Structure 1
Amino acid sequence: MASKKDMRRADLALPYVDPPKSSSDADISSTMSSTLPMAAMFTRNRMIGWLSFVFSLQSWLGESPDQKKNASTPAYMSVFMSLMALIVTYFPLFLPPQAPGGTAAAASPSS
């Protein structure tokens, strides 16, 4: 039968210590929330615009006090940029682009 005595020595146990975080670790959600609105504006893709809005809103609501202190731009600015990207992508619905060549009267000059 096995012995019930604990053979581990308490004086040899080491407590766990978290390794320090390096300052060069990049926050991927912050990077995505700042680059996706630009991609949505360049491609005029509505799906990328909505994705950028969700990413930026998520990074704004989930930022820690350390991230607020160390950030170069505030997180609400990325939310504003993603809203602007949505406006740019939906802009042709409200103000359609002009046809190339202008109107028919301007295209055929009278002689």
Structure 2
Amino acid sequence: MFNQLISFLDKGKIRKIARSHRAERYVKKFSTYNHVVVMLFTVFEGYHSIREIVLGLLANAHKLQHLGINYVVKRSTLSEANERRISTVFEEIYQDVYNRHQRAFSGQPFKQ
């Protein structure tokens, strides 16, 4: 089910949005795409702390490769990424996914 959720993401579009907000500054490995996948994993699993997130990723390390994540992020890296990446980046990614796939989503249309 999580894999289906990830299939809605467009890596190219996420890179473009990240570039427009300079969200990849000071980043060596933990790209915006990886950050989005980790945050979706966090919500999907119901984690509430960075420690839980990292432990959950470690427990599922054998599944991360097919999600597009090449390594388990460290707590400090995730914490710094959460501080540095502005929420507008994630908002635009959400809007892009929603606008491209709104017919597949049920319920009332989203109004901006």
Q: Same fold (TM over 0.5)?
A: no
User: Higher helix fraction: Structure 1 or Structure 2?
Assistant: 2
Structure of greater relative contact order (alpha carbons < 8 Å, 6+ residues apart): 2
The normalised TM-score by structure 2 is: 0.26
The normalised TM-score by structure 1 is: 0.26
Larger Cα-atom Rg = 1
